[in-house]
Amino acid sequence: MSQISCIFCRIIHGQAPGEVIYQDEEITAFRDIHPQAPVHILIVPNRHIPAVAALHPDDASLIGRMILVARELAKREGIASTGYRLVINNGPQAGQSIDHLHLHLLGGRTMRWPPG
């Protein structure tokens, strides 16, 4: 998939609508258009990476920063003290529907276990 056809790349570059709530040189976060919880934010690398399977060892700090951004957004959204879930799906059987690595921040309700 090219970056031009990737909806997440288009949101990152302001070429498609999205409620962007955080952006820096490496990471963008925006609200999911089909939320599965009262708070459902997607945290994505600005560089097009199709999935976890496409990560390289050099991407370790990027993944760590994504989790730290999720922690800060959980504080901003008022769910840090009650709890939240972080999810990364890899591949269609795991539920990955967009071929751009993304971390789901979910909260604002009780989560069930096991998921899915």
**pLDDT given at position 105:** 98
Domain range list for the chain: 7-107
Mean pLDDT over each residue of the chain, to the nearest integer? 95
**pLDDT given at position 114:** 85
> 103 or 1: which carries more pLDDT confidence?
103
Q: Which band of pLDDT confidence, cut at 50, 70 and 90, is reported for residue 2?
A: low
pLDDT of 116 above 90: no
Q: Which band of pLDDT confidence, cut at 50, 70 and 90, is reported for residue 103?
A: very high
User: Domain spanning 7-107 has what CATH number?
Assistant: 3.30.428.10
Going from the C-alpha of 21 to that of each of 5, 17, 30, 49, 92, the distances in angstroms are 22, 12, 5, 21, 27
**Which residue numbers are catalytic?**
102
Q: Listing from the earlier edge strand, what are the strands of the sheet with 84-87?
A: 20-23, 27-31, 39-45, 103-107, 84-87
Structure tokens, 37: 């919880």
